[in-house]
Chains A and B, each alone.
Chain A
Amino acid sequence: MLNALTEKRTRGSMLWDYLTTVDHKKIAILYLVAGGFFFLVGGIEAMFIRIQLAKPENAFLSAQAYNEVMTMHGTTMIFLAAMPLLFALMNAVVPLQIGARDVSFPFLNALGFWLFFFGGIFLNLSWFLGGAPDAGWTSYASLSLHSKGHGIDFFVLGLQISGLGTLIAGINFLATIINMRAPGMTYMRLPLFTWTTFVASALILFAFPPLTVGLALMMLDRLFGTNFFNPELGGNTVIWEHLFWIFGHPEVYILILPAFGIFSEVIPVFARKRLFGYSSMVFAIVLIGFLGFMVWVHHMFTTGLGPIANAIFAVATMAIAIPTGIKIFNWLLTIWGGNVKYTTAMLYAVSFIPSFVLGGVTGVMLAAAAADYQFHDTYFVVAHFHYVIIGGVVFGLLAGVHFWWPKMFGKILHETMGKISFVLFFIGFHLTFFIQHFVGLMGMPRRVYTFLPGQGLETGNLISTIGAFFMAAAVILLLVNVIWTSVKGEYVGADPWHDGRTLEWTVSSPPPEYNFKQLPFVRGLDPLWIEKQAGHKSMTPAEPVDDIHMPNGSILPLIISFGLFVAAFGLLYRSDYAWGLPVIFIGLGITFITMLLRSVIDDHGYHIHKEELPNDDKGVKA
């Protein structure tokens, strides 16, 4: 009956539905679409970079334009593509995996998305309003204070808005995983993706405040005439480096841990075998998360903090290799003795292992402080972090997207197209980045808009550029696949891979808005697999069929975020135009009045009565 209603909806009401939704599954789709869009934008920027560096003294981009493209590539990929895409999968999967009807705070969930969205749009509007930020994604203080125009202001304000969204999302997942687990779902039965979401959210909680502080100080320096980072007046630029990297290093673990979680879900399903060493995997995740806060100075070995600091942080950094190694071997041993089916998702998951190991070992090399003086800020570093971020995070995202696509949209992405796309991506990735280790060691610094002939750098750079085109082709094919699947693909059942092990595969694809008609009772790790092995057709319900309480949709999250978006323009142009100051107050007014409305209007949500729930119970089936 609900489906029939949905079909009758016009396009307009569907748009309204998405603008006001507080349903974690729809927010997941919003994150996927917005994050996917920014991924394409960041990808185009990457192609511009590689075209410019295809040959020495190329004039495809000017020096200034290159710095803007390079800055926005990094910023977009980290803040606006990788994190939102991970949030897409977390939103789509985590509540289902723990047997919950939604996240703890559905309203906040929507607010988190819209803050990210408006922050990202604001940042990218810089392209049309006088130039993008040009000081690198690290935006080191002396350069970013020196930078003319409003580029850096867009960076500072845009990231503050989207950072708020990230912080809210992180807190929401922490609360959800702590409070919303189904009966029997103890911590040591949590699926690995949920575990990694949990730890990554805790990292967000502690890592984003330093970034917010740094950005706030930078904003005050640039827009309000303070001198926190001006050494001539007692400020200090090294403080920015500390603040940024105290955030920045945990940030890479915020990205990679959920990717680890995805591989830990995909590999057991397609190897038909329980994850090897579950408890050591959990231990390793928590340990990596903890150590992630102890190593930021390895980004600053050449800043001149002295040999003692460098040596201590070198040792701490190397220590991270140990829990990471544990994870790699656990994955290998999960496959060992399994029965492996190579779907596209599994191909990404499996090829992640050697790719990531290459990125991991260069990480240990970079940790060797004395040697890092040579590697730091060269293409060796560029190669290293693309190996971990593409070989780890992007492979993880692609594995996760192919794996959970049927759960999100009810259709399996075309497998042959997926596999061709995988091959192109895999070849392109290694072609682009492997050679860059050597280009860096041969003396090419990073973030250079061009290089001169006769320094032995021509061949390596050309190879890199060729590889980038393979990756671009792979992404285009993936897009074609998405369109083809949504038009021609066939709907699948609750457990499309037939070997699903966790609770998300017990509900229909896509799941009903209330997820579970009856919350399931969890009897161990991989609850669905346990029931299947016991010969049960469905999960044992933990409660009788009853009315289901649902939250109402709301446009308020969008308006709250829009108010900050408006205020940001006021802040940006305050000293240029007379309208700047009032616009700040108008924007903040919109935000605070909307927040007030949210506080005073009682919204009790609504109930889906048990008579309205479908009888045949498509949901809970094994």
Chain B
Amino acid sequence: CGKPFLSTLKPAGEVADKQYDLTVLSTLIMVVVVAVVSVIFFYVIVRFRRSRVGENTIPKQVEGNKFLEITWTVIPILLLIILVIPVVLYTLELADTSPMDKKGRKAEDALVVNVRANLYWWEFEYPDYGIITSQELIVPTDQRVYFNLKASDVKHSFWIPSVGGKLDTNTDNENKFFLTFDSKRSKEAGDMFFGKCAELCGPSHALMDFKVKTMSAKEFQGWTKEMKNYKSTAESDLAKQGEELFKEKNCLSCHAVEPNDKRAEAARTAPNLATFGERTKVAGVKEANKENVKAWLKDPDSIKPGNKMTGTYPKLSDSETNALYEYLKGLKAESK
């Protein structure tokens, strides 16, 4: 049950499948345990009630029973052995990130994405292609995608429920793992999965969502080319005015508008806005439309309490937000 783009019960890739299988196996074993306990439980509580046994009966005081006690020690051990073998195997298997460290690794064989979690937004860097995106992760299907995970401020946790379990983004070290996106089931989920932050990180922890777009390996190659040649020009007068404002109001000092942002990581303090016009959500949670973009520009705290943008720029008038919206809406790869 649940939605195919969000539920761990609708697994859509190798990792989620394995975890789902383990969940099912352990649930089955546990159902057996619960059933056995329940049967004995209901029998004893009904059969030995005082109104049936008699008010003054003194039951036999039994000390114990060796055979029974050994039985209910050994059987659980056996059940656990059944469970523990696949658990250990899968745990080791899911941690195999050796291809990403291989010398002469080709991006086509083992794609690596650097994920950086920040207070309420995500950055995805494709080091092989020199591309940076924010809030939307683009991945090819039917191959293992390797992730380097870290956080730039506080601890977060990277989780795409229907594609695989989570791994924390620590402030101390980089964590590595891989996920696989199955093409058929990605299609069923609309080629779009929901990603979440799974570690409490502050007021807007609940709103720290991201989106995952899946496409075939071929389409993905096309996308990387598109991004490399990314160029976006403001067309209308209003958009041009917005572009001016974007510089004037110092938005550029934090937000890049090209996917090949060359600045050092520490300087990239806000989401990259290249392809903003193609995104489905504003701030990861709100429908991408004029009203919401303007609401965000007016008061980001009304949408994401505790975000780092509030108070870093001068107040914007209505006409200024209109112009900025027009400009931001037009941030698309030229070919689209």
Residues of A within 8 A of B (CB): 62-64, 67, 134-136, 140, 142-143, 146-147, 231, 236-238, 271-274, 276-280, 302-304, 306-308, 310-311, 314-315, 318-319, 321-322, 325-326, 328-330, 332-333, 335-342, 350, 353-354, 357-358, 361-362, 364-365, 367-374, 376-378, 438, 441-443, 445-452, 454-456
Contact = CB atoms under 8 A, between A and B. Distances in A.
Contact of B91 (A307, A338, A365): A307
Contacts of B285: 452
A237 B205 contact: no
Given A271-B48, A303-B170, A337 B155 contact: no
Contacts of A378: 198
Interface in B5-43: 6-9, 16, 18-20, 22-23, 26-27, 29-30, 33-34, 37-38, 40-41
B61 A274 contact: yes
Contacts of B18: 370
Nearest to A367: B87
A294 to B, nearest CB: 15
Interface in B135-162: 149, 151, 153-155, 157, 159, 161-162
Given A336-B44, A376-B198, 11 more contacts: A143-B154, A231-B171, A237-B170, A307-B95, A332-B41, A354-B34, A364-B30, A371-B19, A374-B20, A443-B162, A452-B285
Given A273-B61, A315-B88, A442-B7, A340 B48 contact: yes
A377 B30 contact: no
A339 B27 contact: no
Interface residues of B, number: 92
A267 to B, nearest CB: 11
B60 interface: yes
A333 B47 CA distance: 13
B1 A339 contact: no
B54 interface: yes
A483 B40 CA distance: 38
A134 B92 CA distance: 35
A304 B59 contact: no
B64 A279 contact: yes
Given A274-B63, A314-B91, A371 B26 contact: yes
A350 B201 CA distance: 40
Residue with the greatest number of chain B CB neighbours at <10 A, chosen from A237, A315, A319, A340: A340
Nearest to B197: A445
B313 interface: no
A441 B8 contact: yes
Interface stretch (B65-73, B126-134, B290-298): B65-73
Contact of A333 (B65, B170, B199): B65
A456 B2 contact: yes
A329 B199 contact: no
B102 interface: no
B167 A361 contact: no
A135 B200 CA distance: 7
B53 interface: yes
Most central of A279, A314, A358, A455 by chain B CB within 10 Å: A455
Contacts of B33: 325, 357, 361
Nearest to A139: B200
Q: For chain A, what secondary structure do more than half of its interface residues adopt (helix, strand, loop), or is it mixed?
A: helix
B2 A276 contact: no
B50 interface: yes
Interface stretch (B75-83, B225-233, B235-243, B315-323): B75-83
B137 to A, nearest CB: 16
A350 B45 contact: yes
B30 A374 contact: no
A391 to B, nearest CB: 13
Nearest to B58: A272
Given A271-B59, A302-B165, A237 B155 contact: yes
Nearest to A327: B72
A213 B168 CA distance: 24
B331 to A, nearest CB: 25
A341 B1 CA distance: 42
A348 to B, nearest CB: 13
Given A370-B22, A373-B94, A438-B1, A337 B62 contact: yes
Given A146-B202, A302-B168, A456 B7 contact: yes
B98 interface: no
B335 interface: no
Given A365-B27, A443-B6, A236 B154 contact: no
A362 B31 CA distance: 10
Given A237-B172, A303-B168, A455 B3 contact: yes
Given A357-B37, A370-B22, A146 B154 contact: yes
Contact of A456 (B3, B22, B80, B203): B3
Contact of B88 (A306, A311, A373): A311
A354 B171 CA distance: 42
Given A274-B62, A322-B76, A340-B50, A238 B201 contact: no
A272 B41 contact: no
Contacts of A307: 91-92, 94-95
